[in-house]
Amino acid sequence: MNTVSNDFSSVRGTLVHFRHRLELADLSSLPIVIGLCAIWLIFWLANDKFLSPLNLTNLMLQIAALGTLATGIFVVLLLGEIDLSAGIVSGLCAAVMAVLNVKLGVPGPLAVLAGMLIGSLIGLFQGLLITRLRIPSFIVTLAGMIGWQGALLWVLGSTGTLNLRDSFITGIAGTFFKEMIVGFAIGAALVIGYAAVLFLDRSRRLAARLPAASVQFLAARIMIVAAIVSSALMIFYADRGLPLAVVIFVGLVILIDWLTKRTVYGRHIFAVGGHAESARRAGIQVDRVRISVFALSSLIAAIAGVLAASRLLAVNQSSGSSDFLLNAIAATVIGGTSLFGGRGSAWSALIGALVIGSISNGMDLLAFESSLKFMITAAVLLAALTIDAVARRRREAAGR
């Protein structure tokens, strides 16, 4: 009898905790997930090819570079800052890689590493300007967006476009794990790792005599994640197999999520984004955190540029430009990351990129005009910002 009563109390406590988080919009990604399902349903009813394995695999390949760039933007937004140069930095780093490989004969792996190094140095330089000279990040990165565009044109020179033929570089987006055992081994490792993190957190909270979710609740979450992973793998293997580009993208999201939520460095990022002065008084090296975050963001932008170049098999003067940056920022915000800093999850990059990519992909299947695509994306972004603003006011009211 006592066991039943304890189980009931545990479940009831979990539901109360869930409702409290929902009221404070701490589950801000939940409405977006529901919206994504609605988008998929609408496009599937309009065109039954939308949910085909071929199209869904292509959708994931299309958003890999965008989602990767959004992951870097997410880290900057956590600080309450902005990086307007990330898109063009991705194009510049891809151009450096292409010139080294195509024109100078540098092996593909070294050319990719060189592009990533350039991205890190650019972020380090911009971070130093922001912290040492106290110039707003908006101004520094806006200047960077213009200046690095010029650097991109200078690196490419009169060539304009460089076609990529190196097997290592093209294989980044062109490789598929065709053996199901490989894909399901990766999926199993993901689910096991997720379960281990959940139960480790629970044990730590119990040891510290803090409220913790019940075992049943954690088991339900693990089962949901396992179902999602299994479904995704079945879709991939109904087409060409598990794409390496998707593994890189999702792996990066998991890494950044772990870095921001499970490490001291990540807690410092949240603290600085929540209130920089309070973080400074607590002994956190605020300037170092900001510099490192901008360096990390530009490094991730370089990875996004490599992914985009590998999928398109070329680098040209428009690489990283157009609406690439704006869509990445929109994806992060749509996914649930606050523009005000201090709140968000790396998974917002994945969810938001899926929303934007799905709208674009579905519109293309239905042969809609680009104008309508832009307006619908803007409406979704505005809705996400409205949710964020309302949630922020509720949190402030609850804190008073």
Q: What is the pLDDT of residues 278-290, one digit of tens each?
A: 889 988 999 999 9
φ, ψ of residue 100 in degrees (nearest 5): -60, -40
Is the confidence at residue 8, as pLDDT, over 70?
A: no
Mean pLDDT of 164-181: 93
Is the confidence at residue 3, as pLDDT, over 80?
A: no
Q: How many folded domains does the chain comprise?
A: 2
Is the confidence at residue 194, as pLDDT, over 80?
A: yes
Is the confidence at residue 66, as pLDDT, over 60?
A: yes
Question: What crossing angle do the helices spanning 370-399 and 324-334 adopt, rounded to 10°?
Answer: 40
Decide which of 73 and 386 is more confident: 73
Is the confidence at residue 105, as pLDDT, over 80?
A: yes
Q: Are residues 298 and 393 in the same domain?
A: yes
Q: How many CB atoms lie within 10 A of CB 105?
A: 9
Q: Are residues 212 and 301 in the same domain?
A: no
Beta bridge pairs of residue 315? 162
Residue 159, CA distances (Å) to 103, 152, 155, 156, 208 in order: 10, 12, 9, 6, 62
Instruction: Evaluate whether residue 213 is within a structural domain.
Output: yes
Which residues have CB under 8 Å from 317's CB, separation 6+?
A: 152, 153, 156, 160, 161
Mean pLDDT of 48-68: 93
Confidence at 341, pLDDT banded by 50, 70, 90: confident
Mean pLDDT of 391-397: 67
Q: Are residues 269 and 389 in the same domain?
A: yes
Mean pLDDT of 355-372: 86
Which residues have CB under 8 Å from 194's CB, separation 6+?
A: 222, 225
Average pLDDT, the chain: 87
Which residues have CB under 8 Å from 377's CB, separation 6+?
A: 327, 330, 356, 359, 360
- Three-class DSSP category at 193: helix
Q: Are residues 344 and 366 in the same domain?
A: yes
Q: Are residues 299 and 364 in the same domain?
A: yes
Instruction: Evaluate whether residue 230 is within a structural domain.
Output: yes
Instruction: Evaluate whether residue 7 is within a structural domain.
Output: no
The pLDDT, as a whole number, for residue 90 is: 96
- Domain of 272, CATH number, reads 1.10.3470
Whether the CB-CB separation of 133 and 72 falls below 8 Å is answered with no
Instruction: Evaluate whether residue 165 is within a structural domain.
Output: yes
Percent of the chain predicted with pLDDT > 90: 59
d(CA 215, CA 199): 8
CA angle 251, 252, 255 (to 5 degrees): 90
The pLDDT, as a whole number, for residue 395 is: 63
Mean pLDDT of 186-204: 90
Instruction: Evaluate whether residue 254 is within a structural domain.
Output: no
In whole angstroms, how large is the CA radius of gyration of the chain? 22
Lowest mean pLDDT among 82-91, 144-153, 340-349, 388-397: 388-397
Domain ranges, residue 196: 179-239
Mean pLDDT of 143-171: 92
Instruction: Kindly report the length of the chain.
Output: 400
The pLDDT, as a whole number, for residue 386 is: 76
The pLDDT, as a whole number, for residue 309 is: 95
Q: Are residues 283 and 383 in the same domain?
A: yes
Q: Are residues 186 and 172 in the same domain?
A: no
